[in-house]
Amino acid sequence: MRDLDHQVITQALAWVRDGHPIWLCTVLSTYGSAPRGPGAMLVARRDGQFVGSLSGGCVEEAFLEELIVGDFDRMVTLRRYGESREESRRLALPCGGVLEVLIEHRAPDAAWFVHLEVLYQALQGQCRLVRCVDVEAGAFQAREDDVAEGPCVVRRPASVDIRIGPVLRLLLAGLSPVAEACARFAQALGHEVIVCDPRPEMCEGFSVDRVTVVPQLPSVFIAAGGCHAATAVVALTHDPRIDDLAMIEAVRTEAFYIGVMGSRRTSDARATRLLRSGGLSQADIDRIHMPIGLALGSKTPAEIALAVVADIVRVYHGKARDAL
């Protein structure tokens, strides 16, 4: 399973390709408690079919009821859900939450199809984009996002900027019981999961559905461009022939997280080895999380995988360890 917003754009493309007008909804802001944050998307058709999520259920139902009876025929509508006490109770929004949603009614024309294809490529990891939507005239465009950080949505008096970036990619450098558990956790979170392992016997025994398995050395895959800025590279085999080579290549990429499993003693020995014979600098070593994962006292493969994936999510969202 991929990230939910990736599914939204994939479905939007399919419906537009088949000639259906669509309604693309984007959460612009939330006040109080809200299950999904700014940038979350949903796509729907007039008949009530939809993919995506705005709030976890309550707002979706209200939006679809309004859509089916003929609301939102303007090209762009801004709708606030839960603003009144009565509506907040009716929608059962938690803690009095309020959501502001951008609702775009788009015809299945060539310009809109091309725009969706550009968004799809961005989510696939090709680039980072900013969607610019004129909330008065309805015009839209996409431009490259040249800022690595910042808010997901920027409101202006007559327009909205929405940042679109790649789905988080987990690249598992080699297979092991811990790697298999990591793949399952990452899938549940909606991440793209790729496994690289040149050992036929390990690939044949791998049983996680909808995970891309590449039967080659992880270092070869990484060197060929297998990482983008939203990639986490983790090596969990205890085999230096796989783990060390993967680390050497990973530090040359934009990967936001690089980690390798091992005890403190093993990690210190690996750092020395990579400095002496791997050609890495101390700055390269400092990029590698070793020992990998949060210190949860993990013992079993599933517990270690939980610590690894939790640490990846922490770094992805910019949280310091001492802020947990």
Chain segment 5-15, per-residue pLDDT in tens: 889 999 999 99
Specify whether 106 is located in the same domain as 211.
no
Specify whether 179 is located in the same domain as 293.
yes
Token couple for 306: 């939980």
Specify whether 47 is located in the same domain as 185.
no
Q: What is the pLDDT of residues 287-316, one digit of tens each?
A: 999 999 999 999 999 999 999 999 999 998
Q: How many domains does the chain have?
A: 2
pLDDT, position 34:
56
Which segment of 101-105, 152-156, 243-247 scores lowest on mean pLDDT? 152-156
Q: CB of 76 within 8 A of CB of 134?
A: yes
Specify whether 190 is located in the same domain as 316.
yes
Q: What is the pLDDT of residues 43-55, one digit of tens each?
A: 999 999 999 988 8
Could you tell me the CATH number of the domain that includes residue 226? 3.40.50.720
Specify whether 295 is located in the same domain as 186.
yes
Range of the domain at 29: 4-127
Which segment of 51-55, 248-252, 256-260 scores lowest on mean pLDDT? 51-55
Q: CB of 164 within 8 A of CB of 130?
A: yes
Token couple for 248: 């050497």
Specify whether 33 is located in the same domain as 94.
yes
pTM for this structure?
Answer: 0.74
| 188 against 19, higher pLDDT | 19
Specify whether 264 is located in the same domain as 191.
yes
pLDDT, position 187:
87
Q: CB of 29 within 8 A of CB of 38?
A: yes
Residue type, 324: L
- In a 13 Å sphere around the CA of 117, the CA atoms on its Cβ side amount to 9
Specify whether 51 is located in the same domain as 115.
yes
Mean pLDDT, rounded, of the chain: 89
Q: Is 133 domain-assigned?
A: no
pLDDT, position 105:
98
pLDDT, position 146:
76
DSSP H or E run through 178: helix 177-188
Furthest C-alpha separation in the chain? 69
pLDDT, position 1:
38
Which segment of 2-6, 18-22, 207-211 scores lowest on mean pLDDT? 2-6
Helix (H, G, I), strand (E, B) or coil at 304: helix
Q: Say what percent of the chain tops pLDDT 70.
A: 92
Across the range 194-199, mean pLDDT stands at 94
**What is the number of other CB atoms lying within 10 angstroms of the CB of residue 159?**
15
| 162 has pLDDT over 60 | yes
Specify whether 173 is located in the same domain as 316.
yes
Q: What is the pLDDT of residues 52-100, one digit of tens each?
A: 988 866 788 889 999 999 999 999 999 998 776 555 555 555 545 688 9
pLDDT, position 114:
97
